[in-house]
Amino acid sequence: MAKYLRLPGLIDPHVHLRDPSATHKEDFETGTQAALAGGYTTVIDMPNNPVPTLTKAALKDKINRAKHRVYCDVGFYFGSTGENIKEFKKIINKVFGIKVYMNITTGMLVVGDDGKLDTIFKHWPRTRRMFVHAEGNTLAKAIELATLYKKRLHVCHVVLKEEIEMIRDTKKRGMDITCEVSCHNLFLDKTNAKKLGPFGLMKPGLGTKIDRQSLWGNLDFIDYIGSDHAPHTKEEKLSGNPPFGVPGLETTLPLLLTAVSEKRLTMDRLIKLTCTRPREILGILYDKETYTEVDQNIKYEIRNTDLFTKCGWSPFAGMNVKGKIVRVVLRGKTVFDGEKIIGLPKGKVIFPPN
Ligand code: NCD
Ligand code: ZN
């Protein structure tokens, strides 16, 4: 009997690798090593760096910097504050979608102005989905604009009961809307906030226990789980003005495997939420030579000192999990052996299908 369970390579559709321009927090090497250590073979990177991805030139620069340095496959999203509409056509074949920040968060990409928001929704080509950060009331606004301009909408990091219920109802009405839940919102809530202090601060913020329960209760309407891996240094977090965001690439799969061992989640659902649906929604091809092996029986404690992410901490440190990544294989080559990264970077920069 096989000792290890083989999962298709996992896809994290929501990460912030911080490269270029915030590489003191993370960079292409450390971020993609963290991905492999977490069982992920593909990640899609967000545009909100201090030097944001708003032009063809910025995207080209990002792609060139990533080449030959990434340990797993990496794709990109484009960004907009409503002033770069002319760039859309030039980059549409190179990105998996556009990220639109409709609420305050880390970075300079928040679109506060309704006119600019309207312009973005109007001009973004229909061939690619629009990924929105839309909390609370702004979620209704995003649905309204996507309906008006007939765009496919993806709602990032859903937290609240009202939000998941609104998405559920919108899906039932037949709209092409998809959504994601960040792993931390399935395993943490406001009851953990005091102990975590700045290390539990992210946008959107942690929900209540009721919100968390409603996410678990509505798994049928959640398309996939993203980590929203958003590393910041310990020093930044402990400063008087801590930035929002927490890392998550290395803890998502062990936490989900623990939920499987506790029978709160089926293995089929885990695979759907971390590989199958992201692949379908983003249009990423399946490769049978790319997979992750896990030992479902190993119990261990999440420790900051074991992490590959440059930031070196996790909001889950001290938590006990059951289920460990023992091997990651990328296109037939072992790239992580459960302890260390093997060999030179073998990841590729990937693009969506046309
Ligand atoms: C993210 C970051 O640090 O880039 N922070 C966060 O709290 N999630 C930005 C984002 O995803 O909103
Ligand atoms: Zn994010």
pLDDT class of 108 with cuts at 50, 70, 90: very high
Read off the pLDDT of each residue in 307-321 and give the average, rounded to a whole number. Answer: 99
- How far, in Å, is the centroid of ligand 1 from the Cα of 353? 27
What do you get for the CA distance between the two ends of the chain, in Å? Answer: 42
Q: Looking at residues 200-208, what average pLDDT do you find?
A: 98
pLDDT-wise least confident of 109-113, 212-216, 304-308: 109-113
Model confidence at 202: pLDDT above 60: yes
**The pLDDT of residue 3:** 86
- Within-domain flag for 157: yes
- On whether residue 287 sits in a domain, the answer given is yes
Encode pLDDT of 233-248 as tens digits: 999 999 999 999 999 9
CA distance 40 to 46: 16
| Residue to mutate (ligand 1; options 244, 246, 310; most atoms within 8 A of CB) | 244
| Per-residue pLDDT, 2 | 62
Tell me the average pLDDT across 161-176: 98
Tell the residue number behind the tokens 């792993």, with chain if given: 183
SS3 307: coil
pLDDT digits (tens, 9 = 90+) for 48-95: 999 999 999 999 999 999 999 999 999 999 999 999 999 999 999 999
Instruction: Give, as residue ranges, everything with CB less than 5 Å from ion ligand 2.
Output: 228
User: Is residue 13 within 8 Å of 46, Cβ to Cβ?
Assistant: no
Nearest to 296 by CA among 31, 6, 63: 6
Instruction: Report the separation in Å between the CA atom of 246 and the middle of ligand 2, taken as the mean of its atom positions.
Output: 9
Site residues for ligand 1, CB cut-off 6 Å: 16, 48, 105-107, 133, 202-203, 228, 230, 244-245
pLDDT at residue 354 tops 90:
no
- Round to whole Å and give the CA distance between 289 and 206: 37
CATH number at residue 178: 3.20.20.140
350 within domain boundaries: no
How confident is the model at residue 173, as a pLDDT? 97
Residues 248-288 have pLDDT tens digits of: 999 999 999 999 999 999 999 999 999 999 999 999 999 99
For residue 349, list its beta bridge partners. Answer: 74
Residue 353 in domain = no
Residue 341 lies in a domain: no
Q: What is the distance in A from the centroid of ligand 2 to the CA of 346?
A: 25
Looking at every residue in the chain, the average pLDDT score rounds to: 98
- Structural domain tally of the chain? 1
CA of 1 to the centre of ligand 2 (A): 40
Element (H, E) at 296: strand 291-301
**Residue 205 per-residue DSSP state:** P
pLDDT tens digits, one per residue of 213-239: 999 999 999 999 999 999 999 999 999
Among 1-5, 166-170, 264-268, 338-342, the range scoring the smallest mean pLDDT is 1-5
* pLDDT exceeds 70 at position 204: yes
According to DSSP H, which parts of the chain are helical? 28-37, 56-66, 88-91, 114-123, 137-148, 161-172, 183-187, 193-196, 209-217, 234-238, 252-261, 267-271, 277-282
Classify residue 349: in a domain, yes or no: no
**What are 179-198's pLDDT values in tens digits?**
999 999 999 999 999 999 99
pLDDT at 136: 86
Does 347 fall in a domain? no
249 CA distance to ligand 1 middle (Å): 14
Q: How many other CB atoms are found less than 10 A from the CB of residue 130? A: 22
- d(C-alpha 346, C-alpha 313), whole Å: 26
| Encoded tokens for 234 | 């310990």
Residue nearest (by alpha carbon) to ligand 1 atom 12: 105
Mean pLDDT, rounded, for 202-213: 98
Between helix 161-172 and helix 137-148 the angle, nearest 10°, is: 20
- Answer yes or no: is 26 within a domain: yes
In terms of residue numbers, what domain contains 10? 5-336
Please give the average per-residue pLDDT across 138-157, as a whole number.
98
Percent of the chain beyond pLDDT 90?
Answer: 97
